Structure 1
Amino acid sequence: MYTTGTAFLEALQEAGVSYIFANLGSDHPAIIESLARARQVNKELPTVITCPHEFAALSAAHGYAQVTGEPQAVMVHVECGTQNLGGAIHNASRSRVPVFIFAGASPYTQEGELTGSRNEFIHWIQDVPDQRGIVRGYTKYDNEIRSGTNVKQLVFRALQIAKSDPPGPVYLMGPREVMEEKAEPVVLDKELWEPISSGAIAPRPLQELAEALATAESPLIVTSYLGRNKEAVSELVRLSETLAVPVIESIPHQMNFPHEHPMHCGSEWNTPGQNELLAEADLVLVIDSDVPWIPMKNKPAAEATIYYMDIDPLKEDMPLWYIPSRKFLKVDSCTALKQINHYMAEHHGLLDAAAIEKRWDRFAKIHDQQWIEKHRKEQAETDIITPEYLTACVREAIDEETIVLNEGITNYGAISNHIGVNVPGSYYGSGAGSLGWNGGAAVGMKLAKPEKTIVSLTGDGSYLFSVPSTVHWMSQRYNAPFLTVIYNNSGWKAPKMSTLGVHPEGVAKQTEGFWVNFDPEADLAKIAEAAGGAHPIDVKERTALKEALKEALQVVRNGKSVVLNVRIPHVYDNEDYTKEKGKYEMEAES
């Protein structure tokens, strides 16, 4: 029997969806029966990835879309499964990742009137007034499938919206009776459901911006996620080299600009002090960045001219957001940069060769000096494994066929500044604020790019948030091995630092009462071993780190996940490495 459920699955296949990350429930009999029938007759449908937790399912779809740009499907169980998506849907929304989410719904008949009518007590308990409302604040589109006659149109429309700039998650739901309904096959023309075309700069603002860049004495570019389009990276490099414009990455969650390039002048996280380059710039071009700076800590000069280019320049989903920009341009960054570069090539007379050469010499020296300072931090004379040293060791161990994930939280800045990535598509952060993205995302990226080595750098808190038991079960079952490196400081350092930022000399500091430590410590690596056969490695001594990384990468490349649990200074020691060293020596003696 050809049902709405059959047509729904066909629509996903025809639209180009490769995987369904599924946590199935009592509302999915039509889906399960259609999948079983398809398998029986060798009918091609998206591959189902069974996910024991919904957060990991959506994080995997998130990671897949980050490296491919293609939305995958996530299937969850009514409103309970929808709620279990939790922070993962916040992450997909805030990082503008296209994802298709489908949830069943409680049956709307209860006496056997239709196929799929209520036959379990849970169908009353899980019937809620506004299931779609649970995620409406995080989706671009939500709807209910009410008939099999137009289910393919609804799926194609949802995916069209998900992929159109700014991309994001979409949500459909369907009750059992509708999904069991007999339907007639329909064939749609995929080309008629393509996402909207990318935006470009209108001629007058293009001229204004290009001439302002060309005549500025001290221009600066700030970006966070321009590298979502790999081609945009080369266009940014071209513009930077043409005008000798330095680039700063603010909370980067893509590889936006080669770290070895002389015009790369570092990245920033929750930087407590003023960035001198930002303060002295007379023109700041912000490209694809939600938080280019934190005004109460670090901002441009009041007289600086700011231009803002972004796929989402108004941040309509953020109630409080503004920067003093002269122009807000809703554009695709790659398209816009091509326009600017073409304008510069056609109006070469605007460029001051002597000024450009002088800027190049200056910022190249700043870049070199920054590298010297980074190297000093990495090689600090101590037996303790610092975040900088750990990141440097990872940098030395990986190659250009590696994708690095960064969910280091309080070590985010250390990782982004010391990982030294230079290849577009080689580095990702979640781009959002709900911890735990790293695990599922690593599985999704490995499924999307099986030829790559996936290395996830995470704090111990964000590792636990990722539902590692589910993640590593998925990794083993679906042959998606990856390396997790835990920056283990035995607690949540972020709440402590936030408290000190507001109450620097408060009672919490005086009494060390932050309620953030994880003592006694869990055996984090063995969680993954027990759940998914991952290879556990614990490292407490600096001298053992490089060899442990070498072993870990070899095991991963041979097809088995590894969790490398590395002890860094305790959350309560706050970079007091002398105190930490003494603690370790006492532990060793005992």
Structure 2
Amino acid sequence: MYTTASVLFKTFADAGITHAFVNWGNDHPAFLEELKRERVESGQTVVEIVTCPHEMVALSAAQGYAQVTGKPAAVIVHVDVGTQGLAGAVHNVDRGHTPVLIFAGAAPQSSDERLKGTKNEWPMWLQDVPDQPSIVRQYMRYTVQIQSGKNAGKMVMRALQIANSEPKGPVYLWARRETTEEEVDPSIVEEKLDVTRWPPVQGPGLSPAAIDSIVDALLEARFPLIITANSGRNPKTVPLLSTLSNILAIGVFTSCPSTVCIPWTHPNYIGLSFGGKNDLLDHADVIIVLEADIPWVDSKGNKPLDDARVFVIDADPLKTTFGWSHVDAELLCKADPEVALSQLIEAIEGPGGQSLEAEKLSARQARLAELRSAWTNSQETAEGVKSLAADQSTPTVPYLLSTLRNAVASQTPNKGEKTLWINEAISNYPFTWSHLRPEHPGSMIASGASSLGYALGAAVGASLGGLVSRKEYDLITAVVGDGVFLFSVPASAYWMARRYNTVRPMPLPRPHVGAFPRGN
């Protein structure tokens, strides 16, 4: 016997979803029966089920999984209360532009005994709220009710198509119990759904006029600056940004970064901030804001020069999901960063491209070298201060983080090169980015948002995702602060880590650190 639940799991698998992070309830009998059928008939389920004792951890794990693999996972929760249990992780996957498919059951629509799946337990009256998806709708790229098993597969594919299109993010599907238990003909389940016919929208590029304006400005500038934060969510942009920075000697500054946008050792990487004073703005005459939600905070004395030429390149340059956001800019360009960077490089180095005169290039390089040296020297100095207390009892954050960095480098097989840092240090975000020195695309990730409690669940999901994507991490380390460890529902997170073999303690510095080595 096949049901709507059969169609859903089959479609998940066909679409490339390998894991479902689940918290079961009384609306899921059809799903549990389908899993049993799959195990009996083939010895395994088409999607790996990861049981999650708390929904917040489930969605955080799905976020970590998606950030590592670049592909969405599924999260299955229980009616309205399970949807509410997703908590602040909903904010994180939205603001962090992370594609996740969330499915929630819903209370049966009646107590008519003629209907399979009808209300038969007292909580089902209390769980029957007027508008369940409204709990999360404003954070979703798409919400839809599945009302029949016959078209459930196509509803899933539409949702994934939207989730994977920029700006990427979560989608929410829901169905009442009568629908999930609806019996469907085997031909519906066996139907071949060509997933290649459901591609995400290809990101647009810069217009020819925008390319000309930006390249001309970069060539004429005295001190050009690229401010970025999130371009590294697509790992392919990291070498492109490095190349563009190199060929025109452009400084790169990260503002509230969520991932590695440029290697820490890059000679033109000259600073970062989480809302603090960016002194470089007082000198930059051309600024490219590349995939940055908060390039500067005006009220903190941060503002470009009045005559600075500012260009914004972003999948959503107006930040349409923010109540307020504005950048005084010459051009707002809705473009995919990978495409835009490739276009700018081609316009400079390709046939008919314009090069920077040697003297000007040399002068820019010298200035960047000076700024880079000052920045890195300040970090080295800070790491050398063990404690600000006279009795040396309390280590400074830079000293603690550099000790952690060195310990990981000395105790992992690949000298820290295959370590994934999960950063939720919050008040110490700037220190964590500066002193852990992430080098490779994707080697440090954060939620990209402000709801605390992401790190531990994300570490579990990242470990599972690392296996799927063959990242072969030696170590996954969550660095947390500001109460994040407790907000992460540690009992649930560590239960999952142990259950799915994603945790193995190592002798690392203990304060505010949770270690999640890759399981065997």
When normalised by structure 2's length, the TM-score is 0.92
Q: Does 1:159 align with 2:160?
A: yes
State the partner residue of 1:173. 174
Question: One-letter code of the match for 1:344?
Answer: I
Question: Number of aligned pairs?
Answer: 496
Q: How is 1:270-419 mapped onto 2 (pairs within 5 angstroms)?
A: 270-271=275-276, 273=277, 275-297=278-300, 298-346=302-350, 347-380=352-385, 382=387, 383=392, 384-398=394-408, 399-419=416-436
Structure 1 residues 367-376 or 429-438, which shifts more?
A: 367-376
Partners of 1:432 and 1:404 in 2: CA distance = 16
> SS where residue 149 of structure 1 aligns?
coil
Q: Give the direction of change, closer, same or farther, for the CA distance of 1:305–1:68 in structure 2 (3 Å limit).
A: same
Partners of 1:233 and 1:334 in 2: CA distance = 9
Tell me if the contact between 2:463 and 2:518 (Cα under 8 Å) persists in the aligned partners.
no
Tell me if the contact between 2:75 and 2:101 (Cα under 8 Å) persists in the aligned partners.
yes
- The CA deviation at 1:270 is 2.9
Partners of 1:248 and 1:461 in 2: CA distance = 28
- The CA deviation at 1:559 is 5.1
Q: Does 1:443 align with 2:460?
A: yes
What are the ranges of 5 or more consecutive residues in structure 1 without an aligned counterpart?
Answer: 483-533, 561-590
Partners of 2:518 and 2:11 in 1: CA distance = 36
Question: One-letter code of the match for 2:182?
Answer: E
Partners of 1:268 and 1:26 in 2: CA distance = 47
Match of 1:187 among 183, 187, 192: 192
What are the ranges of 5 or more consecutive residues in structure 2 without an aligned counterpart?
Answer: 409-415
- The CA deviation at 1:276 is 2.1
- The CA deviation at 1:385 is 1.0
Once the two structures are superposed, residues 202-260 of structure 1 have per-residue CA deviations (whole angstroms, 9 ceiling, x without a partner) of 11111111111121111000000111111111010111001100100001111111111
Tell me if the contact between 1:211 and 1:350 (Cα under 8 Å) persists in the aligned partners.
no
Partners of 2:443 and 2:28 in 1: CA distance = 37
- The CA deviation at 1:29 is 0.6
Once the two structures are superposed, residues 278-318 of structure 1 have per-residue CA deviations (whole angstroms, 9 ceiling, x without a partner) of 21100100100000111111221122110000111111110
Partners of 1:376 and 1:223 in 2: CA distance = 26
Q: How is 1:394-543 mapped onto 2 (pairs within 5 angstroms)?
A: 394-398=404-408, 399-450=416-467, 451-452=472-473, 453-481=475-503
When normalised by structure 1's length, the TM-score is 0.82
Q: Give the direction of change, closer, same or farther, for the CA distance of 1:557–1:60 in structure 2 (3 Å limit).
A: closer
State the partner residue of 1:509. none
Partners of 2:212 and 2:314 in 1: CA distance = 18
Partners of 2:453 and 2:386 in 1: CA distance = 33
- The CA deviation at 1:420 is 1.0
> SS where residue 298 of structure 2 aligns?
coil
Q: How is 1:207-222 mapped onto 2 (pairs within 5 angstroms)?
A: 207-222=212-227
Question: One-letter code of the match for 1:72?
Answer: A
Tell me if the contact between 2:13 and 2:47 (Cα under 8 Å) persists in the aligned partners.
yes
Question: One-letter code of the match for 2:439?
Answer: N
Q: Give the direction of change, closer, same or farther, for the CA distance of 1:477–1:352 in structure 2 (3 Å limit).
A: same
Q: How is 1:16-165 mapped onto 2 (pairs within 5 angstroms)?
A: 16-42=16-42, 44-165=45-166
> SS where residue 452 of structure 2 aligns?
coil
State the partner residue of 1:518. none
Question: One-letter code of the match for 1:447?
Answer: L
Once the two structures are superposed, residues 439-476 of structure 1 have per-residue CA deviations (whole angstroms, 9 ceiling, x without a partner) of 11101110011421101110150111100110000000
Please give the root-mean-square deviation of Cα atoms over the aligned residues, in Å.
1.8
Partners of 2:507 and 2:143 in 1: CA distance = 42
- The CA deviation at 1:408 is 0.5
Partners of 1:120 and 1:536 in 2: CA distance = 50
Tell me if the contact between 1:215 and 1:350 (Cα under 8 Å) persists in the aligned partners.
no
Partners of 1:449 and 1:477 in 2: CA distance = 17
State the partner residue of 1:490. none
Tell me if the contact between 2:426 and 2:482 (Cα under 8 Å) persists in the aligned partners.
no
Question: One-letter code of the match for 2:325?
Answer: W
Q: Give the direction of change, closer, same or farther, for the CA distance of 1:455–1:355 in structure 2 (3 Å limit).
A: same
Question: One-letter code of the match for 1:404?
Answer: W
Q: Give the direction of change, closer, same or farther, for the CA distance of 1:245–1:535 in structure 2 (3 Å limit).
A: closer
> SS where residue 236 of structure 2 aligns?
helix
| Higher RCO structure, 1 or 2 (CA under 8 Å, sep 6+) | 2
Identity %: 40
> SS where residue 479 of structure 2 aligns?
strand
- The CA deviation at 1:537 is 7.8
Partners of 2:221 and 2:373 in 1: CA distance = 24
Structure 1 residues 53-62 or 345-354, which shifts more?
A: 345-354
Partners of 1:276 and 1:270 in 2: CA distance = 12
